[in-house]
Structure 1
Amino acid sequence: MLIGELSKQTDLSRDTIRFYEKQGLIAVGRKERRFNNYKEYSEHVRDYFRSNELKALVSR
């Protein structure tokens, strides 16, 4: 899924998702990009954002 869909499914802004990526909480490799270089986020990333694990890391 693209960042817009991930944003809708997790109720996080696109900027927040990009921030978490820059902080190393999630990673999107070259293989997970589309031919036009758009990032393709997996359901695993979506589930991670929905989990309490992320909330615990952010609240530190």
Structure 2
Amino acid sequence: MGQQSLIYSFVARGTVILAEYTEFSGNFTAIASQCLQKLPASNNKFTYNCDNHTFNYLAENGF
């Protein structure tokens, strides 16, 4: 099994991205924003797959 690395990370409140970080180029911000629109407001963990990437979300108290 190959080693996987963190490509993109962000913090959002609601659907607004407050801070983000990546060392790579790509459409990560656009995909993250699209997924944020679809997340329920409840506290939970979510995983979405898009463009051969896995996006993991942790929603807690509006963040």
Q: Which has the higher helix share?
A: 1
Computing the radius of gyration over CA atoms, which structure comes out larger, 1 or 2?
2
Instruction: Determine if the TM-score, normalized by the shorter chain, exceeds 0.5.
Output: no
TM tier relative to shorter chain: under 0.3
Structure with greater proportional strand content: 2
